[in-house]
Structure 1
Amino acid sequence: MTKVVAPEGDFTVTVVDLGPAADAAAAVSAATALVPSLAGLTIEETVRPAATDGWDERTTSYFEVPPAQNRFALAAAYRRGDRWVVLIADGSQATLGKRGAALGTMSASLRPAGFVKEDFSGKKANPLTPERIEALKSFVRSGMDQLKVPGVGMALIEGGKVVWEGGLGLRDPRGKAPVDAHTRFMIASNTKGMATLLLSTLADEGKLQWDQPVTALYPSFRLGSDAVTRSVLVKHLVCACTGLPRKDVEWIIAGRATTPAADTFRQLAATQPTSGFGEVFQYNNLMASAAGYLGGHLAYPKLELGAAFDRAMRERIFAPLGMKDTTFDFAIATKGNYAAPTQVGLDDQVEVFDQTFNSHVIPYRPAGGAWSSAHDVAQYVMLELNKGITPSGKRLVSAENLLARRAHNVRDGEDSWYGMGLSTRRRYGLDFVYHGGSMAGYKSNWYALPDSGVGLVLLTNSEDGNPLIEPALRKLVELLYDGRDEAAARLAAAGRNVASGRHTLRDKLTLGRAAFDALGLAPRYRNAELGDVSFSTGAKGEAMVTFGELSGPVAVQRNPDGTASLVGTGGHVFGFDVLVGKDDQGKRTLTLRDPQHVYIYTEG
C-alpha cells in the first residue's frame, strides 16, 4: 500500500495493490477497509470508464458525504487479469480544488506493469480521405445519439486547408433547421487563446513584454496584497499558474450583462492566491478577462475597457483571419443562424433554455464570451498550425510570440501543460495544442496536431457535449495512425456514465411541493456578495428558486447526516445545490459552496 498526502495535510491518495478479488465491488470493499477515514461512508454511485491503457476493467465509485463536511471521497478500481489495484482519494474539497490536476495525473498514469503505450512518433499520418472523413462524421453522429446532443458544428483541417466543414444535427431540437459550417455557437473559454493572440500581436509591436509587470502597463491593477500585485507579470494573467482559485460563483449569480468591464479588476483586487506561483494548476477566469482587457487598453487606451477589447479583437484578430461569423455581441449572435443551448433534464428529455445565464459572461468576455462557427474557428486553428500565418498567406503574428503561448507554465495533467490561454499535450508520441470551452448548453474544443498538420473543431449545443469530444479526438487519431480500436468503447462508456449520473441524482431527490414546504424555509434570503434568493410557485405547482436573474425548479435532497439540501432540477439552476440550515442566532440559512469558497445566505 502506498500513501501520498497533500502538503495541506487534509487530502490523501492511497494506492492498494490488492491482488485477486471476486469482482470490482469486492476489490473496493477490501481496499477501503484499509483506510479508516472511510469507515461509515457508503457508495453513492459507481461508473465504469472504458478499459484502456492496458487494463481489462475499470470502475470508479463515489462515496456519499454530508455536504457540510466539504469533503470528496472516491475509490477507483483497475483490473489486469485476476489482479486488482485500487486508488482511493479522500479529503478536503478545497485542497482538491487546488490540487485536482495532480490527482488527475496520478490516476491517469496508473498502468499495469509491462504495458507499452502507443507511439506514433515518426509515423506518417494517413490522409483524410472522403472515407475517413465520413467515418469520423458517423462516429460523431453516434455520439450525438447516445448523449442526446442536438447539433454539432465540425471542421477538419489538413495540409493548410479545410478539407471538410459543416454541421450535424439541428440548431434547435424544437425545429428542423440544420447546423451548417456558419452556425454560431458560444465558444466560451476557446475565447482565451484568441485573446492571448491579441497580446502576441502587441508583443510584436513592442507594446508589452511577457515578463513585464502588469502594473507597468496598467497601474491600477491589484491582486490581493501589494506584494502579490508587484509579482504579477503579463504572462501570469493567462497561465493558470498564479495560485488564484476559481471564483466564478460571484459573476454567475451576482453578475449582470450590464456590469461594466472594470468589474474584473474590482474582483481581482479582493482575491488572494491560495497556492504559490507555478506550484499548481488553478484555472481562473477573472485573470484571463484582465489579460484581454489589458490588450484592448494597450491597443486603444482612450476607449472604455470593453469597447477597446471588442475593437481590438475585431480589427486585429477576427477581420485578418476572415472570421465573419465571430462576435461578442449577444444580440447579433442569437439571431438567424445560431444554435440554441440545451440540456438533458432528470426526465431524460432535451430542454432548451434562454441565454440569461450565458449573458452574465459579457462583462468578463475575454475569458469566454465569444460566439463563433466551425468555419471561423477553423481559420484560427490554421493560424496555430501555420505558426502565425493566416490562411490567406499573410503573417499576422510572429512565430516567436505565437509559440510563447505554448510555454509549459504549469502541468495540468499527465504529459500535459497549460501555457497562455491554451494547453499542450504529448500523447501517443504526438504533440497536441488545444483548448476547450464550456458555458450553459455549449461545450466545444479545437485541436491542432502539428506532427501531421491536422486540425479538428467540434462545437456542440448541449450541456452533455463534453463526453463526445475526447472520444472523437481518439477516433481521429485511430483514423490517422491506424491506432487501437478504443474510441467506440470510450464513447459508449461516456454515454452510460452520463445517464447513470443523471439517474443517481434523480433517485436522491424528493420531487413535489410537499417535501419543499415541509422544510419551513424563509421566503427570502440574502448574501452580501451574491444578492437575494427567493422562492415561488411554477406553472405546474412546483417549487421554484431564483438566484438574482437565474431561476428554475428545485427538489429536496436528504443528506446522510440528516440535513436537507435544495437541488436545482432544470432551467438556469440545474445542478445548483444549497444546504438548508440555521446560524448561531437561530436564523435560517442557505449555504452554497464551490471547492474553495463558502457563501451563506441568511433569511431576511
Structure 2
Amino acid sequence: MALPAGAATPPTARDPSALDRAFDDAMARFGLPGMAMGVIEDGEVVYTRTGGETVAGSGDPVTDATLFKIASNSKAMTTALLARLVDAGKLRWDDPVTRHLPRFRMHEDWVTEQMQVRDLLIHNSGLPEGAGDLMLWPEPNRFDRGDIIAGLAHLKPERSFRSGYAYDNLLYVVAGEVAAAAGGASYESLLRGEVFEPLGLSGCRVGEWSRADAGSVAQPHMRDGQGNVAIRVDGDTVPAITSAAAGGIRCGLDDMLAWARNWLVPTPEQLQWLPRAQREALWTAHTPLPLSARSRDWDDTHIRAYGYGWRLADVHGEWTVSHTGTLAGMYSVLMLLPDRRSGFVVMINGDGSAARTVLTSVLLDYLVRPESGTSVATLAAALEREQEGPRRSRLPDTSGRRPAHAIDMSAYLGVYRDPWLGEARLCEADGGVRFVATKSPRLSGRIMRVHGRALIDWDDDTIDPEAWMDLHPATATSSPRMTLAKVDPDGDFSSDYEDLAFVRVRGCER
C-alpha cells in the first residue's frame, strides 16, 4: 500500500553503491555517449552522478550543469505556467480555447466549440497519435505556431472527442499560445518569468539563447556501427523553436532536481508560487492510459492515467507521478513518488530508449523494494527478448532498392499539396526523381524502387523511418494523388506519414 501523505519512509536495506552499479552498467551495456542521473530520498538529493561527454570524442565532460534537451518533460513546465495564470485569474481550465485564440479550429465545428483549455493537455482530442508532428519535426523547418493552429483544422480525427487517449504534441503548442494570449507576453518570456526565475532554475533555457553563455551543452547522438556520432549539433546561437511548449526546453541535472523537489517538498515560498489547489489539479487523473504487459510484469502496475502534463500510475502499490522525454538522440525521465517524497531524474544524450526503460525500473525498485536486487543486466536481457522477434518480422528488407527513373514516373511528376504539410515537389533531379517538402526541407530524398513500390530514401540518415510513396492516377474529377506510409510499421508515431493526402497542383517548374 502507498504511505499516507507526509508519512516517514520505513527503514529499508538500500545499498547506495547499487546506484553507482546501475549507472556504470547502463553506460557500458548501452554504449551511451553521456548521462546525468540524480536521486532524491525523503526530500533530499542523496545522489548525483554524471559521465561521458557532451560530444563523443570531444573530451568535454557531462557535468551537473550540462544542458540536455528534456523533450516532453517540457509539458509539465507548460502546465505549471498555465496553472500560474489560472491562479492569477487570467484564465480558467474550462475556458473555451477560442476565448483566448479566436482563430483556433479543429476539423469538426462542434469540437472547436467544446474544446477547453484542459482538453489541450490530456490527449483526448480524438486525433490520431502524433497527428501533425511533421509540422514540428524534423527541425529546423519553416512552420510557425500560426501554421500549427491553421493546420489543425485539416487533421482528421480517428475517434470521437474525449473518447480515448492518443498522445498529442500540437495541442501543447496551442496551449503555449493560450498562455501567451492570457499572459500578455510570449510563451518563452512567460516561462522564464513565471517558472524559471521563481524556482531558481537559472540554467534552463527556452527560446533563442547563446550557446557560449549557457556553458556546457550536451549534443544528441546516434549509433554508427559501434560508436556514437553527434547529430544536429547546435550552432553558436540556438534558435527559438515552434515546439517549445511541447518539447523544446533544456535543463541541467541540478535544475531538474530543484524542479522535482518543488513538487515533492515545496517550501512555503513555493506554495505561494503555486498553491496546493493548483498542484492537485495538475496531478488529477483525466484520461486513462493503456497498460502494457511490461508495466504489469515489471512494475506491478494496474492503472495509468494522464493529468496536466504528468503521467500517473501505481507501481508496486505506490503512487507515481512522472513523464518521459524523447527526441532524436536525447532521452529523459523524471519520476516522483510523492508519498515517499522521493524520485529520480535521468538524462541521456544518445540512443537511450532501452537504457531509460531499464534504468527507470531499476531505480524504482531501488526506492520501493530494494530487497529485489533488480539489475540493469537482467532487465536489459528481458527487454531484448521482448523486442527482437516482433520487430524483425515486421521490418521489410529494402536492401534491393534501385533508383527510380523520371521517364517511368512521368505521369506523376509535379508539385503536390497536402492541406497541412503544404507543398512537396516530386520532380526530376540529379539523374533521378526527388521528393522535397517545401516547408520542411530536411524531408528531402531520392525516390527508389523496391518490391514494386516507391520508397523515399531520405538524404538525412538521422530521419527514421523511411517512407513508402504510393501514387494514384488522375480521374475524371481529380488530379494525381500521392500518399505516404512508414516503411517500418513500428517507427516513431511522430513520423505521421499516413495522415498526409497530397494532390498534384501543377507541373514541375523548369
TM-score under structure 2 length normalisation:
0.79
Provide closer, same or farther for how the CA distance between residues 232 and 260 of structure 1 changes in structure 2, counting only shifts above 3 A: same
Provide closer, same or farther for how the CA distance between residues 310 and 587 of structure 1 changes in structure 2, counting only shifts above 3 A: closer
1:16-63 deviation line (CA, Å, top 9, x unaligned): xxxxxxxxxxxxxxxxxxxxxxxxxxxxxxxxxxxxxxxxxxxxxxxx
User: What is the aligned partner in structure 2 of residue 396 from structure 1?
Assistant: 273
User: What is the aligned partner in structure 2 of residue 455 from structure 1?
Assistant: 343
Shift of 1:478: 2.4
Question: 2:434 and 2:34 mapped to 1: Cα distance?
Answer: 29
Answer 1 or 2: which has greater strand percent.
Answer: 1
Provide closer, same or farther for how the CA distance between residues 483 and 152 of structure 1 changes in structure 2, counting only shifts above 3 A: same
Provide closer, same or farther for how the CA distance between residues 583 and 537 of structure 1 changes in structure 2, counting only shifts above 3 A: closer
Shift of 1:400: 1.0
Of 284, 298, 306, which aligns to 2:168? 284
Of 388, 396, 406, which aligns to 2:283? 406
User: What is the aligned partner in structure 2 of residue 314 from structure 1?
Assistant: 192
Give secondary structure in 2 for the equivalent of 1:344: strand
User: What is the aligned partner in structure 2 of residue 328 from structure 1?
Assistant: 206
1:64-109 deviation line (CA, Å, top 9, x unaligned): xxxxxxxxxxxxxxxxxxxxxxxxxxxxxxxxxxxxxxxxxxxxxx
1:348-376 deviation line (CA, Å, top 9, x unaligned): 543221159xx899113111111111111
Provide closer, same or farther for how the CA distance between residues 140 and 220 of structure 1 changes in structure 2, counting only shifts above 3 A: same
Provide closer, same or farther for how the CA distance between residues 443 and 527 of structure 1 changes in structure 2, counting only shifts above 3 A: farther
Question: 1:588 and 1:224 mapped to 2: Cα distance?
Answer: 21
1:113-140 deviation line (CA, Å, top 9, x unaligned): xxxxxx67689455697x42x4223213
Of 124, 132, 137, which aligns to 1:241? 124
Question: 1:553 and 1:147 mapped to 2: Cα distance?
Answer: 30
Contact 2:207/2:240 (<8 A) preserved: no
User: What is the aligned partner in structure 2 of residue 591 from structure 1?
Assistant: 484
Question: 1:569 and 1:139 mapped to 2: Cα distance?
Answer: 38
Question: 2:118 and 2:220 mapped to 1: Cα distance?
Answer: 33
Give secondary structure in 2 for the equivalent of 1:366: helix
User: What is the aligned partner in structure 2 of residue 578 from structure 1?
Assistant: 468
Structure showing greater relative contact order (alpha-carbon pairs closer than 8 Å, 6 or more residues apart): 2
Shift of 1:211: 1.9
Question: 1:349 and 1:142 mapped to 2: Cα distance?
Answer: 17
Question: 2:497 and 2:447 mapped to 1: Cα distance?
Answer: 22
Question: 1:537 and 1:499 mapped to 2: Cα distance?
Answer: 38
Shift of 1:267: 2.0
Aligned residues: 467
What are the residue-to-residue correspondences of 1:122-521 with 2, within 5 Å? Answer: 124=9, 131-132=15-16, 134-245=17-128, 246-252=130-136, 259-300=143-184, 303=185, 308-333=186-211, 336-345=215-224, 347-354=225-232, 362-386=241-265, 389=267, 395-414=272-291, 415-462=303-350, 464-480=351-367, 481-488=369-376, 489-494=378-383, 508-510=397-399, 515-516=402-403
- Letter of the 2:203 partner, please give it: D
Give secondary structure in 2 for the equivalent of 1:363: coil
What are the residue-to-residue correspondences of 1:517-556 with 2, within 5 Å? Answer: 526-529=415-418, 530=421, 531-532=423-424, 547=437, 548-550=440-442
Give secondary structure in 2 for the equivalent of 1:273: coil
Provide closer, same or farther for how the CA distance between residues 262 and 589 of structure 1 changes in structure 2, counting only shifts above 3 A: closer
Shift of 1:428: 0.6
Question: 1:139 and 1:543 mapped to 2: Cα distance?
Answer: 49
Question: 1:179 and 1:563 mapped to 2: Cα distance?
Answer: 45
Provide closer, same or farther for how the CA distance between residues 208 and 165 of structure 1 changes in structure 2, counting only shifts above 3 A: same
Question: 1:421 and 1:199 mapped to 2: Cα distance?
Answer: 11
Question: 1:545 and 1:368 mapped to 2: Cα distance?
Answer: 28
Provide closer, same or farther for how the CA distance between residues 145 and 255 of structure 1 changes in structure 2, counting only shifts above 3 A: closer
User: What is the aligned partner in structure 2 of residue 52 from structure 1?
Assistant: none
Question: 1:424 and 1:600 mapped to 2: Cα distance?
Answer: 39
Give secondary structure in 2 for the equivalent of 1:457: strand
Provide closer, same or farther for how the CA distance between residues 404 and 543 of structure 1 changes in structure 2, counting only shifts above 3 A: same
Shift of 1:176: 1.4
- Letter of the 2:473 partner, please give it: D
Give secondary structure in 2 for the equivalent of 1:224: coil
Give secondary structure in 2 for the equivalent of 1:227: helix
Which one is further off, 319-328 or 331-340?
331-340
TM-score under structure 1 length normalisation:
0.68
Give secondary structure in 2 for the equivalent of 1:229: helix
Aligned-pair identity in percent equals: 22
Question: 2:470 and 2:165 mapped to 1: Cα distance?
Answer: 32
Give secondary structure in 1 for the equivalent of 2:77: helix
- Letter of the 2:335 partner, please give it: Y
